[in-house]
């Protein structure tokens, strides 16, 4: 097979599973298509779709997942979210309770004293909820509901006018409920218009795929995983999922939670929506309903999904991985800043005073507690503690506050707390800006190393004054005549700050001896520009030796960080040494071998630290 012919994509075991699940239940003929709203009776009893949407926006679809139908009661869960956003939790709770009623969806059941509907998932509560949604910015209630649901589905939805008319013509029982609500002051205006809005809300057209996406939006803290829009205010997602869990399946809710264990909502159009918080969304569509008004196939499919995929909320709780992935100190892994030999020695012997913990996964109270304990255990032995959060997936407000308090208590013990990488942390928890943040672990390490070196060597530790070639690390101690010869033969160059000395991809022909100033080594970005810093060299150091030896193209850019002066040993000069100064060549090769073995030792130390 030629390299550019792709093979057939491999079968997904997840798709295979969903197809088998669909096939298993397709033959079922339990239940009746709803006909109390005459237009609903036109649905085909064989329509059957299953969709599963992941938190990162992948949607699996089997069967009639693009067949539209009316959302009906599933809209109640979302309208409840909009009402909460409009009025706040206290107000909504003062009008609509959250107690499972054990009654049918259309029961005329209101609490005896207050007249408050038992919960927002039965019709009484849903009509009351609809009445709390505000008309705003020149938009009617139904326009706002439609926009809200469209954001949840990630596409513009519309109303099935025939179903709406049909329900409006026959919905006398709901009208009776509306007048009761008005009587008890649960709604503040005559119910007529609210009821029309409610009927329209129930007649919004969706498909099975939409249900899975809406469910995944609920599972994803209200953010639509396809469009990334924050469709539902995150602070109310918990309220919505709670009433779905306790009341979403009407008088079957207790059994549903017991056997299936997922917050869910069904509608008489045949849809079922179920969400596993933080994880995924499920949509099932099949019009025949059981005695409670829930899709008969929908219940079967969700039962199997919950058992087969172990989705029950209480079955296994979140199994959080260890939050500390690695722990090492700066004597094992130092920053990419190349240090003069004295500073390097100090970091090798005292680098243990800088401790780095690499964290991972979801940081919440339970996972952060282990981080706090580890940090306190390290505190007596270090002066700097760096928390590298590169692999942290989420960081909640509890964790942010615990980190702030940890900083204070470490400070009392003379330990500084530092965090990185800044951009990731700020994206996860903007309020974390109060803590000392660094661009990445290298920047954090360098910052702490610099402070440690200043403390241990003195204020001048960082001085790298211009040097003669005889004082460079590579040539120090060579016989005077060798140095004089090299001084004559090695050309001198300079570069302005920001200028490129080596470009990634260049042929490597020379070794560079830095006599004054600082250079930075940066990895090339895909765009060709210079990206992450991987090294810093100061006056007295040399670079480019690997290229001189193996001739492989340069793998990184080297840029002058300050104005620099450097000298160069190129391949031609190196070759000439063989005949003109063979002893010098041997000495140079020995020095270079030492430098390379030094680097290799350092890499081995790092690998050992990363393996523990
Ligand atoms: N519009 C329908 C009604 O009020 C919604 C009921 C439902 O889906 N359970 O009767």
Write out pLDDT tens, residues 147-164. 999 999 999 999 999 999
The one-character DSSP state at 363 is E
Q: What is the pLDDT of residue 612?
A: 65
How far, CA to CA in Å, does 171 sit from each of 87, 164, 299?
27, 10, 26
Q: How far is CA 170 from CA 17, 152, 176, 268, 430, in A?
A: 42, 29, 12, 15, 52
Q: What is the DSSP letter of 513?
A: E
Is the per-residue pLDDT at 1 higher than 60? no
- Identify whether residues 421 and 553 lie together within a single domain: no
Using CA positions, which residue lies closest to atom 6 of ligand 1? 73
Active site residue 521: no
Show the CA angle centred on residue 600, arms to residues 594 and 603, nearest 5°. Answer: 150
d(CA 372, CA 392): 15
Is the bond preceding residue 488 a cis peptide, omega within 30 degrees? no
Q: Is the CB of 166 under 6 A from ligand 1?
A: no
Atom of ligand 1 nearest to the CA of 74: 8
239 shares its domain with 385: no
The label of the residue with tokens 């033959």 reads 27
Q: For the chain, what is the mean pLDDT?
A: 93
Identify whether residues 273 and 371 lie together within a single domain: no
- C-alpha distance from residue 569 to each of 465, 551, 576, 592, 599 (Å): 22, 13, 11, 12, 20
Answer whether residue 246 is part of any domain.
Answer: yes
pLDDT surpasses 70 at 319: no
Task: Give the tokens for residue 406.
Answer: 């940890």
Which residue in 62, 13, 26 sits closest to 212, CA to CA? Answer: 62
> Same domain for 527 and 431?
no
Atom of ligand 1 nearest to the CA of 126: 4
Residue 556 has pLDDT above 70, yes or no: yes
- Distance from residue 72's CA to the centre of ligand 1 (Å): 5
* Ligand 1 neighbour 123 (Cβ under 6 A): yes
- The last residue of a domain, from among 282, 315, 348: 315
CATH of residue 432: 3.30.750.24
Residue 167: CB within 6 Å of ligand 1? yes
Q: Where does a domain end: 294, 315, 336?
A: 315
CATH number of the domain residue 488 falls in: 2.60.120.10
Question: What is the per-residue pLDDT for 156?
Answer: 98
> Do 365 and 476 share a structural domain?
no
Q: Is 105 in the pocket of ligand 1 (CB under 6 A)?
A: yes
Tell me how far the alpha carbon of residue 36 lies from the centroid of ligand 1, in angstroms: 10
In the block, which residue shows the tokens 């093979």? 7
Q: In this predicted model, what pLDDT tens digit does every residue of 292-311 receive, in sequence order?
A: 999 999 999 999 999 999 99
Mean pLDDT, residues 600-606 taken together: 90
Residue 46 above 90 pLDDT?
yes
pLDDT at residue 529 in the model: 66
pLDDT of 3 > 60? The answer is no
User: Do the domain assignments include residue 172?
Assistant: yes
Burial of 17 (0-12, 13-18, 19+ CB in 10 A): middle
- Per-residue pLDDT, 336: 85
Tell me, yes or no, whether 551 and 419 share the same domain: no
**410-452 confidence digits (pLDDT tens):** 999 999 999 999 999 999 999 999 999 999 999 999 999 999 9
Task: Give the pLDDT confidence score for residue 530 in this predicted structure.
Answer: 66
Flag whether 242 is in a domain.
Answer: yes
The pLDDT assigned to 486 comes to: 94
**In contact, 256 and 272? CB cutoff 8 Å:** no
Q: Taking residues 119-133, report their average pLDDT.
A: 97
Last residue of a domain, one of 402, 431, 456: 456
Quote the ligand 1 centre to 39 CA distance (angstroms).
13
Query: What would the mean pLDDT of 325-338 be, rounded to a whole number?
Result: 92
The answer to whether residue 265 sits within a structural domain is yes
In a shared domain, residues 295 and 362? no
Q: Which residue segment(s) compose the domain that 483 sits in?
A: 469-611
Q: Out of 75, 76, 163, 266, which one is annotated catalytic?
A: 76
Pick the closest to residue 554 from 500, 495, 503 (CA basis).
Answer: 503
Q: Is 226 in the same domain as 88?
A: yes
Residue 83 has what pLDDT? Answer: 98
Average pLDDT rounded to a whole number, residues 568-584: 93
Query: Is 211 within a domain?
Result: yes
Q: In this structure, are 288 and 203 located in the same domain? A: yes
Measure CA of the first residue to CA of the last residue in the chain; give whole Å.
Answer: 42
Name the region of 126 (left: φ>0; alpha: ψ -120 to 50; beta: rest).
alpha
Lowest mean pLDDT among 121-130, 318-327, 375-384, 467-476: 318-327
Query: Does residue 464 fall inside a structural domain?
Result: no
The pTM of the whole model exceeds 0.85? no
Q: Is 22 domain-assigned?
A: no
Active site residue 611: no
The single residue of 80, 148, 236, 250 carrying the catalytic annotation is 250
Could you tell me if residue 16 is inside a domain?
Answer: no
Encoded tokens for 318: 């979140």
* pLDDT band with cut points at 50, 70 and 90 for residue 533: confident
Q: Which residues lie across from 223 on neighbouring strands?
A: 230
Residues 84 and 236 sit within 8 Å (Cβ to Cβ)? yes
pLDDT value at position 318? 64
- Whether 60 is a known active-site residue: answer no
Tokens of 53: 């949407």
Co-location of 52 and 167 in the same domain: yes
| Alpha-carbon gap, residue 195 to 485, rounded angstroms | 98
Say which CATH number the domain at 107 has. Answer: 3.40.710.10
* Helices 208-219, 234-247: inter-axial angle, 10-degree rounding: 120
- Cβ contact 261:268 at 8 Å: no
Give the Cα separation of 518 and 374 in Å (integer): 38
Considering only CA atoms, which of 506, 509, 534 is closest in space to residue 520? 534
Dihedral sign from CA coordinates of 195, 197, 200, 202: negative
The number of distinct structural domains making up the chain is 3
422 and 504 in a single domain? The answer is no
Q: Catalytic annotation on 76?
A: yes
How much is the pLDDT for 4? 61
Using a 6 Å cutoff on CB, does residue 202 contact ligand 1? yes
Bridge partner residues of 394 (DSSP): 362
SS3 content of the chain, % helix, strand, coil (to 5): 45, 20, 35
Do 330 and 305 lie in one domain? The reply is no
Residue 425 Cα to ligand 1 middle (Å): 45
């Amino acid at each position: 097979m030629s390299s550019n012919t792709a093979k057939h994509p491999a079968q997904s075991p997840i798709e295979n599973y969903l197809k088998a699940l669909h096939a298993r239940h397709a033959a079922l003929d339990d239940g009746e298509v709803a006909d109390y709203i005459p237009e609903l009776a036109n649905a085909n009893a064989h329509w059957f779709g299953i969709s599963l949407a992941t938190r990162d926006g992948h949607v699996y679809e089997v069967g009639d997942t693009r067949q539209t139908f009316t959302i009906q009661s599933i809209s109640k869960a979302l309208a409840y979210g909009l009402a909460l956003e409009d009025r706040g939790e206290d107000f909504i709770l003062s009008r609509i309770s959250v107690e499972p009623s054990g009654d049918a969806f259309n029961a005329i059941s209101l609490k005896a004293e207050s007249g408050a509907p038992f919960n927002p998932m039965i019709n009484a509560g849903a009509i009351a909820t609809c009445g709390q949604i505000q008309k705003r910015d020149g938009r009617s209630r139904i326009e706002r509901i439609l926009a809200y649901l469209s954001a949840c589905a990630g596409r513009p939805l519309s109303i099935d006018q025939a179903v709406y008319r049909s329900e409006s013509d026959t919905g006398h029982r709901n009208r009776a409920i509306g007048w009761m609500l008005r009587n008890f002051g649960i709604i503040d205006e005559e119910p007529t218009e609210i009821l029309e809005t409610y009927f329209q809300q129930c007649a919004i057209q969706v498909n099975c795929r939409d249900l899975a996406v809406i469910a995944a939006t609920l599972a994803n803290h209200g953010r639509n995983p396809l469009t990334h829009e924050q469709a539902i205010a995150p602070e109310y997602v918990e309220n919505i999922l709670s009433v779905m869990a306790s009341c979403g399946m009407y008088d079957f809710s207790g059994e549903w939670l017991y056997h299936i264990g997922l917050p869910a909502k069904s509608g008489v159009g045949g849809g079922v929506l179920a969400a596993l918080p933080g994880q995924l969304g499920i949509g099932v569509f099949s019009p025949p309903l059981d005695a409670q008004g829930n899709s008969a196939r929908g219940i079967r499919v969700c039962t199997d999904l919950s058992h087969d995929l172990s989705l029950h909320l209480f079955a296994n709780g979140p199994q959080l991985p260890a939050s500390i992935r690695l722990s090492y100190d700066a004597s094992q892994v130092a920053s990419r800043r190349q240090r003069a030999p004295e500073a390097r020695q100090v970091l090798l012997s005292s680098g243990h005073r800088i401790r780095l913990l690499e964290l991972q996964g979801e940081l919440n109270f339970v996972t952060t507690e282990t981080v706090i304990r580890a940090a306190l255990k390290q505190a007596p032995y270090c002066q700097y503690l760096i928390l590298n959060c590169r692999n942290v997936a989420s960081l909640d407000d509890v964790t942010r506050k615990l980190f702030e308090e940890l900083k204070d208590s470490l400070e009392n013990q003379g330990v500084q707390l530092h965090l990185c990488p800044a951009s990731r942390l700020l994206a996860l928890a903007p309020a974390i800006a109060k803590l000392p943040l660094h661009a990445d672990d290298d920047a954090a390490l360098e910052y702490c190393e610099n402070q440690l070196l200043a403390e241990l060597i003195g204020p001048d530790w960082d001085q790298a004054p211009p040097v003669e070639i005889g004082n460079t690390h590579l040539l120090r101690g060579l016989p005077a005549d060798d140095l004089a010869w090299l001084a004559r033969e090695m050309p001198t160059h300079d570069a302005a700050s920001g200028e490129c000395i080596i470009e990634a991809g260049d042929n490597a022909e020379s070794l560079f001896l830095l006599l004054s100033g600082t250079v930075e080594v940066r990895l090339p970005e895909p765009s060709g520009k210079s990206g992450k810093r991987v090294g810093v060299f100061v006056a007295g150091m040399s670079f480019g030796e690997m290229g001189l030896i193996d001739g492989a193209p340069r793998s990184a850019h080297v840029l002058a960080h300050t104005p620099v002066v450097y000298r160069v040993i190129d391949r031609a000069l190196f070759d000439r040494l063989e005949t003109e100064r063979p002893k010098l060549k041997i000495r140079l090769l020995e020095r270079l071998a030492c430098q390379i073995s030094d680097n290799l030792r350092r890499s081995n130390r790092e690998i050992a630290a990363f393996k523990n």
